Structure 1
């Protein structure tokens, strides 16, 4: 059931256009092509994407206390549309309250939710965290613990949508299948641009993004530096294209760290646990997600 907007506290009853914070947000999912989508949308002449990918502004534990002026400063306000990509916005277990904050501050925002095969996405999230040194447990050791429940919650797409549908109208949320975005990119870019009110654009060339087989070769010290406190400064000073070239160069110089594999019985368990949510997601969206393993 949608919550009556009148019960949501707002800072102002009337928002002037120049005072708006953001026009659209890619809310996730993590490891589902959001970096690729950010780079595509950055090439649109009407769109200003946030200077820092993953501002995490609407997360209370991260940057919400910085205030609206800080967030507004992430955008080129001369562009017609402002957008950001923060996959942490679709992690209700770890970061509750995000949909309510977005609705309170940006009730007219358009949302984009990119979904990937939930088991493959969960495995990719683990590999990314392992390569970044954020997780040291093997998948078997992780089972039943905080990290396991975290990655599984992120793959519970229907539950994540439930949290947003308490506040936003269904028409404000565009659900895109990652696998179809890769196979038919122009079709989905057209749908995304129409959803956010931007003019059509020819799909630019797509680079491979955030590949785990590259990350596992980049020295751990460099990864921690680039993802730590210096990340906002490095993001501002170094373009996405240059960051990709640097990562590729470092990957060629380093030796691979081999991440532990998921045992097949564990993958079977994950598919079984996620199957009810996938079934519910299909009913919610009317989409088949035919390329998924569940």
Structure 2
């Protein structure tokens, strides 16, 4: 009997917590079929186009959301009969409505959630948007404080620097709808410190042969763009171009923006500055209660996230452990 064209597993999040790296590793496994695009975002929609988000670049990027059921099904039709099929949309973990749709329509799907120190995750999230020229606020703490105002203005989920890191609340809700046996939680530090073992852990969870993918590709880190004349001059140009890109095919923006973001990064540096202990101390109260909840939900200890020591980017951490 032909299988229904749908996923057997989902990498559900969180953004900037190693989802791209794990997806790339699993895509190398011969028993796995992954979708193109990597992030269809189908379960964020409700058989209707995505909301008309209005943050910088949002209306351009939502053109790539796969919201029609037939289009989503088509993503899985080229999978070989014996392959395990999956996709990775890191916003599913955050979205309560996605939880409900996934639970109702994919009763046997397996879910992989990656979690990362929520302050470091938020900083990496801001860094991603800042280095792409989309984030206009050069100070991370100031941008972090703007989340609720931006939500009220209709910014897309990726601008939720705080909320995307509330894994305790997210997993507690998800576990009310999905059998916890079908949910695997992986820590970002394991992606960096033990890549081969982490892939094998995911493979065992998915019923795949282990030992076939010994490494995890580096994540999609960007060089840090130092605030200065480049960001003041080129940032508004990038944001204006992204606004115009909503009227053009997505591939147009990718080609047109490459020279601009290249110039923007030209004055940057490979490593972003560490958050100071004082900065972390000011940000930790936003997550402390949720970290405690996450420990209750998973039965694991996350007290290291309450430290005021910054851990740095993927590349910085990898070099320390290499």
Q: TM-score, normalised by structure 2?
A: 0.69
Contact 2:131 2:223 in 1 (8 A): no
Bigger mean CA deviation after superposition, 250-259 or 101-110: 250-259
Q: 1:35 to 1:165 in 2, by over 3 A?
A: same
Q: 1:165 to 1:215 in 2, by over 3 A?
A: farther
Q: What does the per-residue CA deviation read over 1:231-288, in whole Å, with 9 as the maximum and x for residues that have no partner?
A: 57999xxxxxxxxxx99xx589833289898676553232122111111111211222
Runs of 4+ in 1 over 4 A off after TM superposition: 214-217, 219-225, 227-235, 250-253, 257-266
Q: 1:208 to 1:222 in 2, by over 3 A?
A: farther
Unaligned runs of 5+ in 1: 1-15, 236-245
> Paired residue for 1:199?
209
> Paired residue for 2:71?
70
Q: Distance in 2 between matches of 1:215 and 1:109?
A: 40
**Matching residue within 89, 92, 100 for 2:92:** 89
Contact 1:117 1:292 in 2 (8 A): yes
Equivalent residues in 2 for 1:143-292, closer than 5 Å: 143-146=145-148, 150-213=160-223, 230-231=249-250, 254-256=266-268, 265-289=278-302, 291-292=304-305
Q: TM-score, normalised by structure 1?
A: 0.75
Q: Tell me the secondary structure at the aligned position of residue 111 of structure 2.
A: strand
Shift of 1:207: 3.5
Q: What does the per-residue CA deviation read over 1:77-135, in whole Å, with 9 as the maximum and x for residues that have no partner?
A: 2152111111111223xxx4111111222111100001111110111111111122332
> Paired residue for 1:57?
42
Q: Does 1:25 align with 2:10?
A: yes
Q: Does 1:112 align with 2:122?
A: no
Q: 1:215 to 1:112 in 2, by over 3 A?
A: farther
**Count of equivalent residues:** 263
> Paired residue for 1:7?
none
Contact 1:25 1:84 in 2 (8 A): yes
Q: Distance in 1 between matches of 2:18 and 2:136?
A: 24
Q: Tell me the secondary structure at the aligned position of residue 89 of structure 1.
A: coil
Q: Tell me the secondary structure at the aligned position of residue 169 of structure 2.
A: helix
C-alpha RMSD over aligned residues: 3.7
Q: Distance in 1 between matches of 2:296 and 2:109?
A: 24
Shift of 1:204: 3.6
Contact 1:174 1:195 in 2 (8 A): yes
Shift of 1:54: 1.1
Q: Distance in 1 between matches of 2:176 and 2:225?
A: 37
Q: 1:194 to 1:259 in 2, by over 3 A?
A: closer
Q: Distance in 1 between matches of 2:217 and 2:31?
A: 22
Q: Tell me the secondary structure at the aligned position of residue 297 of structure 2.
A: helix
